[in-house]
Structure 1
């Protein structure tokens, strides 16, 4: 383990649960004497020590309120928020300040001081905590090196890119040797390539420093890129939670499905979507989405279906990827309109723990499937 953030009073074996929400609700008094506004309701959620848990939700779903409860910037109206087994709301002010030093936070818009250099921005929490110059020097330079900014030590925020500013924010959040790191939409202001580099950095920090990370986002790509566990929040309630692979490959709640709808491979190609119908028509094909996961994720399933049932399968869209290091794929295909055939294919896939969704009927505009697919390729 990297000893950069080690602390004499930090246990070698962290508690099983780093952060725990127990039946937490949060309400705000509305303006001009109106009724209260419920930001969170009946939140029951655990963040395993050393894990990366992502909370995803739309704007106004309650994500920011949830994360602010962890470091006591907000207090619950009901229920308890426990950090390392300590009830945050019941701490005296001095003990709350001590707890906050064990909780780092990074923000969407970086929150750097423009008048301070990279070094001095990272040093700020240590200065506030009363650390000596020697202590600051011993911690800050290694942190700047950890986030890949050794050559930017004396630069000011105005001289940095967005990704570099976020790296400064991460180093600053790590300065007080936290055991928990909170990420509040930390990549939302960054381009995809920079987002990927920041997620890679957070993954490294999580693995090397055994740091628990709780991040909130509205982007499924961020969850897929870094999280091990995920919770979906809607209207102030957790509507679905669990292992990120299971949730991505077998979503149960409509909100989760909506977030995943635009994921690569899941979305119907526009040409197919425009011609999709709920009822069959002359010359139409049944459109299926096959979800590849588990031990049979890499099997040549389509060729097996073709050989076993003597049917031509048209590939209309799809993608193959990995989630949490496990293979996962989605294929959207067309098969002849034949109910018994569909039953056979469904049973064939179920026996291999592969999922099947019937999406509708695709009326081919060309005279033959081959011509139709050629037209699709031409349009694409």
Structure 2
């Protein structure tokens, strides 16, 4: 196959090269104007790397450009400008015959499963291998271990109508893995599932990533998916990547307003309604100053609030928040009230800073 190739590990000038299995470089995608509607710029200036063997999640609201992004990887869409590389091959530069060959190295699972109702579990998983022309014995040797892997060996002769949503998605995963892909694309693959089933599918994808070393690019609008499985996350808004990095870092110190809005419920950053409705910009005599304290790093599990109360001799009122683990590391965000006195606030902020905790003055309440 005569396809353009680059060094997919080359990073921006002055940075450490990344061994990226999938890389977007300067990608723009514009859909042309149609009768009665203007042209639509779905993606603009996308630079994004999916490190080999990693799980990268792309999160955004409906219409942000997520689906267009993932369709560029397998050549279902082609960029208006820029390049999309898969294992060093510029997908957008391929002729259709070459693209079909590359697609065998790209697996994909979908929100609505896309199973053939007339085929059994085994038949659906075997379909891409039949299309590729493998012999029945070769297909059986490939498919049966995959059905074991996804937990459906005892359902091999069942039809989609006899399966639950989670089981259907497991068939979709087995089918996507049948061609031994280098990368697995997941397009909102858990959004039609209940929370318990979503957790089981995410656990399965995590197992596949670890045991097979498979690179996974997943598209979602659910932070619980990113939190449950991804190593890195990219936030897309209006066709642009507005923030990207390690999941723990993004969750605990989001820099962009879109990211913060996604994370408000997940990380306890939302103010309780009874506080938000009373919040004032200036101190109130006899009232409280409202602080948000973010617990991360070595002090994340320490009894900081009780230490603060003893050290400064003040009452600390917990108004809201959440304490949990993100990417296996402890994290908490608490909204607290302390006496509305300038000296107390200064000493409190200094105490928290000494312990490496993020702190933010939100306002004041009576």
Question: TM tier, shorter chain?
Answer: over 0.9
Q: SS at 1:230's partner residue? A: strand
Q: 1: distance between equivalents of 2:152 and 2:112?
A: 18
In structure 1, C-alpha distance between the alignment counterparts of 2:72 and 2:203, rounded to whole Å: 26
Q: CA deviation at 1:356?
A: 0.7
Residue aligning to 1:77: 80
1:259 is aligned to 262
- From 248, 251, 276, the equivalent of 2:251 is 248
Aligned partner of 2:185 in structure 1 is 182
Over the aligned positions, Cα root-mean-square deviation in angstroms equals: 1.3
Distance 2:139 2:365 in 1: 65
Aligned to 2:287: 284
- What's the CA shift for 1:87? 0.4
Q: How many Å apart are 1:29 and its aligned residue?
A: 0.6
Q: Secondary structure at the match of 1:335?
A: strand
Which residue of structure 2 aligns with residue 204 of structure 1?
Answer: 207
Shift of 1:362: 2.7
Secondary structure at 1:40 match in 2? strand
Q: What is the count of residue pairs matched by the alignment?
A: 349
* Runs of 5+ consecutive residues of structure 2 not aligned to the other structure: 1-17
Give 2:29's aligned residue: 26
Determine the structure 2 residue equivalent to 1:145.
148
Residue number in structure 2 paired with 1:313: 316
Q: 1:157-190 deviations in whole A, cap 9, x for unaligned?
A: 1111111111111111101000100000011011
Instruction: List alignment gaps of at least 5 residues for structure 1.
Output: 1-14, 364-380
1:304 aligns to 2:307 (yes or no): yes
Q: CA deviation at 1:264?
A: 4.7
Matched residue SS, 1:130: coil
SS at match of 1:76: coil
Selected match of 1:94 from 67, 88, 97: 97
Q: Name the structure 2 match of 1:103.
A: 106
State the 4+ residue runs in structure 1 displaced beyond 6 angstroms.
none
C-alpha distance in 1 between matches for 2:212 and 2:185: 15
Residues 1-380 of structure 1: matches in 2 within 5 Å?
Answer: 16-32=19-35, 34-363=37-366
CA shift, 1:331, in A, is: 1.2
